[in-house]
Amino acid sequence: MLKCLIITAGLSACMQNNEQTPINETIKSPTMDTTKSIHAFQIEALDGSTINLADFKGKKILVVNTASECGYTPQYKELQKLYEAYSAKLVVIGFPSNDFGQQEPGSNAEIKSFCSKNYDVTFPLAAKSTVKGSGVSAVYQFLTQQSKNGVMDAEINWNFNKFLLDENGILLQKFESSVKPMSDEIVSLLQ
């Protein structure tokens, strides 16, 4: 008698009855390890609602730590433009943070008002978050620790660092603040 195993990559393997592998065991393909996906997270939004990152399966995700009083703050305009231009295959998520130079001192309501009034931001914005140091959010632990994301260790150096994840929520690449949202470096990965 043959026993068959379902493998998460969509394949099956059959074994003779005398082998010791249980029939209900699942073998995970390294490329399909769901524990290394950002889709596992739910985060608080600026308005207090919940952003379920699993809702974005099938789209790339660009995660950006933002601030309202930074020299890079005008990137909000390009982030919005990128979000609109590639909305069928990309979602941008901003994570306002006061971790660098105290450049995001406002409350969630003040940040939401600032982004809407000055940059017409419609992409999702998380509640004010810690992205570095003590109390770092779970999402940023995932993004910056290879042991959690399975890809790389990364350091957040300033506001507007960017992380691009694929359609399965797997980390692809990190971009420094100076890389503009509509740059060829980012856009070429969305084609």
Which residues are annotated as catalytic?
70
Rounded to an integer, what distance in angstroms lies between the CA atom of residue 67 and that of residue 70?
6
β-partners of residue 44 are: 50
Rounded to an integer, what distance in angstroms lies between the CA atom of residue 89 and that of residue 85?
9
Rounded to an integer, what distance in angstroms lies between the CA atom of residue 132 and that of residue 28?
32
* 31 Cβ contact list (under 8 Å, min separation 6): 9, 170
Burial class (CB in 10 A: 0-12, 13-18, 19+), 167: middle
Helix (H, G, I), strand (E, B) or coil at 54: helix
β-partners of residue 66 are: 96
Q: Residue 189 is encoded by which pair of tokens? A: 């990965």
